[in-house]
Chain A
Amino acid sequence: MNDLSDFRTATRVWLEANCPHSMRQPVKDPFDVYWGGRNAIFTTQDQKIWFEKMLEKRWIVPYWEEKYGGGGLTPEENNILTQEMTRLGCRKPLYSFGISMLGPALLKFATEEQKLHYLPQIVEGKIWWCQGYSEPNAGSDLASLQTKALDKGDHYEITGSKVWTSYADKSDWIFCLVRTDFEATKHAGISFILIDMASEGVSTRPIKLISGKSPFCETFFDGVKVPKENLIGTLNEGWNIAKFLLTHERQMIGGIGETDIRKEVHEVAIENLPINSKGLISDGVLRSQISDFEIDEEIFELTIQRITDEAKTGNNSGALSSFFKYYGTELNIKRQELLMAVTGTDSLIWEENEKSDGDLARKFCRSKGNSIEGGTSEIQLNIISKLILGLPTK
């Protein structure tokens, strides 16, 4: 106990001393942060300082083992570090799908040699990773994916296309689901493979969303040669890795581990809406809607805590990630809807002017994707009803 409180004190002191002030401000947009990669760009000097300090401290991925470039912190120490970073408002030093998604999959499914090769590079931010899952004809029905990997002796030859690959146009490598058995049932013929985006035959095209901008791309593979050692896990058993990663992704989209400090809806409401003589929002209908929303928002946070605490005692079901994903995204959609309502016609401004940065309308539009990406709300409800409630299929 004492050791942990010493650790907390030391952590607080170190963060105070080393985290530049501008790295304690909320992130403005996805390019206001450091993503690493072959063509790494620090958009500010403070970003560079912060990344280098954290790298030196081995706190880029503090909870991975030291041999993989991590800091070797215990879960308790890591919790303390997260809490202290949240308290100060410290940004993550490196934004990376390698840390949040590929890393956990490698730790669980890769060979020791692959782990030693890829994990330290993730920590050092040397590779910008993207994810190749969905295809034009494999969205909700992901397992019907058709991108093929043909066995050519010493390598695979990959042909097909992926869609919704975030930052594919900026990424160095992609972790990808491909079909390696064309006779087997759809779940049984899938493999998980890593592909260098600089390979011949890879091309990308950005997708513009209703929010006006987005990191999404289409990615095309035209006879791309990939060495066999890039396969992760067992051939044709990639669906297990896919499910494992989707669980991670759903928890992320559901807002778990989100440390951004956001204004509460009622605070925005008070700043904008007329107030009556009792100091309350005059619009009683909107007031009830906000209160109702904030009840669910607060209790959802408590639910994340409860289920995390239960998981520590061994009571957990992986299918609960579907509940998190469903509920978290529906809440965010309600939040955006309410923020639009309380901000009136100012919320409609699209191009930045002196009244608004145009963020609200764009965020509202973007939130419409939340209940679709990573498995639609309807898919999550299917999973809950089948895997948790045990309701039968026809």
Chain B
Amino acid sequence: MALIITEEQKMLKDSAAELLKAKAPVNEMRALRDQGYMTFDSNLWREIASLGWTALTIPERYNGLDFGHVGLGQILEETGRNLSKSPLISSILLGASALRISDNKVLKAKIFPGLIEGSTQLTLALQEGKYHKTTSFQTKAVPEGENYVIDGTKTMVIDGTTASHFVVVSEIDKAISIFLVKADLEGVNISKNILMDSGTYADITFDKVVVSAENKLNIQLDGSRMLDELMTIAYSGVAAELLGICQEAFEITIQYLKERSQFGVIIGTYQALQHRAAIMFSEIELCKSIVLKALQAIDEKDANAKRYAHLAKAKLGKTVKMVTNEAIQMHGGIGVTDDANIGFYLKRARVAQQLFGDYNYHVDQLAALKGF
């Protein structure tokens, strides 16, 4: 398969670029922050749902569009460019994918309609403590009659204060079970964290929360396989957002180099800056390739999809740090003021590159995958 996007995917990307630039640009994100860290604009979310973006990766039999992850990735790239705030990552990239991978057909039929409509918002409760990992979870789900009793504490739950349901990853004797847990159940305690990207995240404690067995997402399906598949999607999707951040921060910076004068000349004439700009350009060219490959690999059920996802998250995690650091430096004094938007790219980049494992994590995982 050619490593380019199709005409239809390009149309979706262009329409996402247009809408987000008009309705959810970086200044809108600034406004939400200034209004006491508002999570997102619910009018925008309704519009996103009406455009079908919430249904992109959902199978047709559940009234989804079955358009695939390359499509969703194009939108996420544009949200990265605009720093648009919405539950696309929490509810669609993570929530809808968990439900799609799940073999619980009853739950799918029940939840997908609201998810597509935008009224139901899912999010993933995976991480425990300070670091991303995919094994050895302390959260337990103990069977009790028809029910399970969930105990444990999850961290870094994206949009954890506004989601209606949590996809909770638990483990007993190395067996992973994944549950859909309503946010308003007794024993669910949500504590809010505002992170440096002005985003709302939550630490969630499940204190003897009783959920019925009907809410188990993996019935026959092996829980760690399900988690693996979900992580492949998470790594690639976040990498797509990071690609948007890299490109926008880079382009803003190149524009600045062409406008700013010092010593009577445009600073972009200085070779010291030109070469660093050209190096950034080169690294971003690599980023474009691996993000697209990782997204295509998901849609094509490529046996190497997980490795491509690690490659994407590793490369983008490293590059986004380099590009946003350089962007601030090349802006000089204005770059460290709150008035300039470039700082928002630095701050979102820092959060997104840690989500689901930073560069170091994925470099280690890739080495382990290759057996060294």
Contact = CB atoms under 8 A, between A and B. Distances in A.
A299 B315 contact: yes
Given A279-B371, A306-B288, A384 B293 contact: no
B285 to A, nearest CB: 6
Given A295-B315, A378-B275, A382-B271, A305 B289 contact: yes
A291 B2 contact: no
Interface of A: 266, 269-270, 279-281, 287-288, 290-292, 294-296, 298-300, 302-303, 305-307, 309-310, 312-313, 323, 326-327, 378, 380-382, 384-386, 388-394
Contact of A299 (B258, B271, B289): B289
Contacts of A300: 286
Contacts of A305: 3, 289
A215 B318 CA distance: 39
Contact of A302 (B293, B314, B364, B372): B293
B15 interface: no
A291 B367 contact: yes
B62 interface: no
A298 B275 CA distance: 24
Interface string B57-100: 00000000000000000000000000000000000000000000
A313 B279 CA distance: 26
Interface stretch (B125-133, B147-155, B262-270): B262-270
Contacts of B303: none
A287 B372 contact: yes
Nearest to A286: B372
Residue of B2, B4, B372 contacting most chain A CB atoms (<10 Å): B372
A291 B275 CA distance: 26
Contacts of B290: 299, 302
B278 interface: yes
B110 interface: no
Contacts of B292: 306
Given A287-B372, A390-B258, A384 B278 contact: yes
User: Which 9 pairs, one residue from A and one from B, show the smallest C-beta to C-beta distance?
Assistant: A385-B274, A384-B278, A291-B367, A381-B278, A306-B3, A303-B289, A302-B289, A309-B2, A391-B268
Chain A's interface: helix, strand, loop or mixed, by majority? helix
B35 interface: no
Contacts of A323: 281-282, 285
Contacts of B4: 306, 309-310, 313
B370 interface: yes
B274 A381 contact: yes
Contacts of A326: 278, 282
A322 to B, nearest CB: 8
A281 B368 CA distance: 10
Contacts of A313: 4
Interface string B1-19: 0111000000000000000
A326 to B, nearest CB: 6
B367 A381 contact: no
Contacts of A312: 2
A141 to B, nearest CB: 15
A231 to B, nearest CB: 36
B167 interface: no
A390 B274 CA distance: 10
30 contacts: A266-B367, A266-B370, A266-B372, A280-B367, A280-B368, A291-B363, A292-B318, A292-B363, A294-B366, A299-B289, A299-B290, A299-B315, A300-B286, A305-B289, A306-B3, A306-B4, A306-B292, A306-B293, A309-B3, A327-B282, A378-B275, A380-B278, A382-B271, A384-B278, A385-B278, A385-B281, A388-B281, A389-B281, A391-B254, A394-B265
Interface residues of B, number: 39
Contact of A303 (B269, B281, B285): B285
A295 B312 CA distance: 9
B281 A290 contact: no
Residue of B258, B286, B360 contacting most chain A CB atoms (<10 Å): B286
Contact of B258 (A287, A295, A391): A391
A292 B359 CA distance: 9
Residue of A270, A279, A392 contacting most chain B CB atoms (<10 Å): A392
B309 interface: no
Contact of B311 (A299, A388, A389, A391): A299
A380 B282 CA distance: 11
A385 B315 contact: no
Contacts of B257: 391
Nearest to B362: A295
Contact of B366 (A270, A295, A394): A295
Given A309-B4, A385-B275, A391 B269 contact: yes
B327 interface: no
A326 B282 CA distance: 9
Contacts of B275: 378, 381-382, 385
B282 A393 contact: no
A326 B275 CA distance: 11
Contact of A382 (B273, B274, B279): B274
B277 interface: yes
Contacts of A270: 371-372
Contacts of A280: 367-368, 372
A391 B254 CA distance: 8
Contacts of B258: 390-392
Contacts of B367: 266, 280-281, 287-288, 290-291
A288 B292 CA distance: 25
Nearest to B366: A291
Contacts of B274: 381-382, 385-386, 389, 391
